[in-house]
């Protein structure tokens, strides 16, 4: 059980971003595309777990003095460092093998993800602002790999929306660390000395607005309406707005946000919003629902 916990399987939820291209390219009914998407999800999960293991081994001494991280299997000594590194040496190559088995571009995307995250673990997480940008780029690579795996074009709108929401989540994570660790924040993560709560709050507010606005513009874009065959995505904007507000509420009132996956897995409000959003998107896109909400409408 401790070895499984060391893999952080709850973090695999983030790899769900690989399915974005599958859903929005209207390929959800293609069995081969679904299978390929599941395979790239598995590849990311194995690769990410191997990187988590390496990161936890590298930070083991620091984590032992952290109020939350000291309970992790490696920091607590329940999983030995040599064992963890051996697991990483198996899981990482296995994930890459699956990716390259799909096609070379997908394999390259996961290779870039591995290099970027290992660089983050050992160096880049100590560079102010770049640390949160690396986290956001990781989500972009997930979305890109999902598109490459099923060989569909990558929508610029998908890239923009993903980048903004990922940056939003990354800054919320930094805020949680800054607040929860208090005066000891910089001792546990040196880069936190370069941040302040007012600065992070400004970034969060800006990114929350940019996320909602970019998504709203996506739903009314003429090319998107034509390609998807529906003008109904506009009705999902309030759900996205409510979801962002709910997350902000949890961050500011309940000091959450340190782990977006934990929020998704534990907060009933977020779960309901995500569930409703996904159902609405699938119905609107795959049944080509026309609501007459946009003047230009789809081109016949």
pLDDT given at position 236: 97
Establish if 289 belongs to a structural domain: no
Tokens of 78: 């329940």
Establish if 222 belongs to a structural domain: no
Question: Residue 119 belongs to a domain with what CATH number?
Answer: 1.10.357.140
Tokens of 163: 């980048």
Q: According to DSSP H, which parts of the chain are helical? A: 2-6, 20-24, 31-58, 60-63, 81-102, 104-122, 130-149, 156-181, 185-188, 197-220, 222-228, 237-253, 260-266, 268-286
Report how far Cα 218 is from the mean position of its chain's Cα atoms: 19
Establish if 271 belongs to a structural domain: no
pLDDT given at position 298: 44
pLDDT given at position 239: 97
Can you list the residues of the chain whose pLDDT is less than 50? 297-300
Establish if 229 belongs to a structural domain: no
pLDDT given at position 147: 97
Structural domains counted in the chain:
1
Establish if 103 belongs to a structural domain: yes
Print the domain residue range for 121: 1-154
Establish if 215 belongs to a structural domain: no
Tokens of 7: 């893999």
Distance from C-alpha of 227 to C-alpha of 24, rounded to nearest angstrom: 10
Beta-carbon contacts of residue 258 (< 8 Å; ≥ 6 apart): 68, 173, 176, 177, 180
Establish if 150 belongs to a structural domain: yes
pLDDT given at position 299: 44
Beta-carbon contacts of residue 168 (< 8 Å; ≥ 6 apart): 204, 207, 208, 211, 244
Nearest CA to 2 among 79, 91, 80, 56? 79
Asked if 163 and 218 touch (Cβ cutoff 8 Å), the reply is no
Establish if 260 belongs to a structural domain: no
């Amino acid at each position: 059980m401790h070895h499984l916990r060391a893999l952080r399987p709850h973090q695999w939820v983030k790899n769900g971003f690989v399915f974005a291209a599958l859903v929005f390219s209207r390929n959800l009914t293609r069995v081969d595309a679904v299978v390929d998407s599941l395979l790239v999800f598995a590849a990311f999960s194995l690769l990410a777990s191997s990187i988590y293991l390496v990161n936890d081994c590298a930070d083991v001494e620091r984590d032992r003095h952290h109020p939350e991280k000291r309970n992790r299997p490696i920091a607590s000594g329940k999983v030995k460092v040599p064992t963890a590194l051996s697991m990483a040496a198996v899981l990482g190559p296995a994930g890459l093998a699956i990716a390259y088995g799909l096609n070379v571009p997908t394999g390259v995307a996961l290779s870039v993800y591995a290099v970027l995250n290992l660089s983050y673990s050992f160096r880049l997480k100590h560079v102010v602002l770049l640390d949160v940008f690396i986290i956001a780029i990781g989500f972009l690579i997930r979305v890109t790999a999902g598109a490459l795996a099923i060989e569909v074009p990558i929508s610029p709108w998908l890239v923009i929306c993903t980048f903004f929401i990922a940056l939003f989540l990354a800054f919320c994570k930094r805020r949680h660390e800054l607040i929860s660790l208090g005066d000891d924040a910089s001792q546990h993560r040196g880069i936190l000395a370069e941040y302040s709560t007012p600065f992070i709050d400004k970034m969060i507010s800006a990114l929350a607005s940019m996320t909602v606005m970019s998504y709203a513009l996506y739903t009314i874009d003429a090319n998107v309406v034509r390609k998807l065959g529906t003008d109904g995505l506009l009705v999902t904007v309030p759900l996205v707005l409510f979801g962002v507000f709910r997350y902000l509420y949890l961050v500011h009132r309940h000091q959450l946000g340190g782990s977006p996956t934990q929020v998704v897995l534990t907060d009933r409000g977020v779960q309901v919003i995500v569930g409703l959003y996904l159902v609405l998107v699938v119905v609107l896109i795959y049944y080509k629902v026309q609501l007459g909400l946009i003047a230009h409408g789809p081109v016949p």
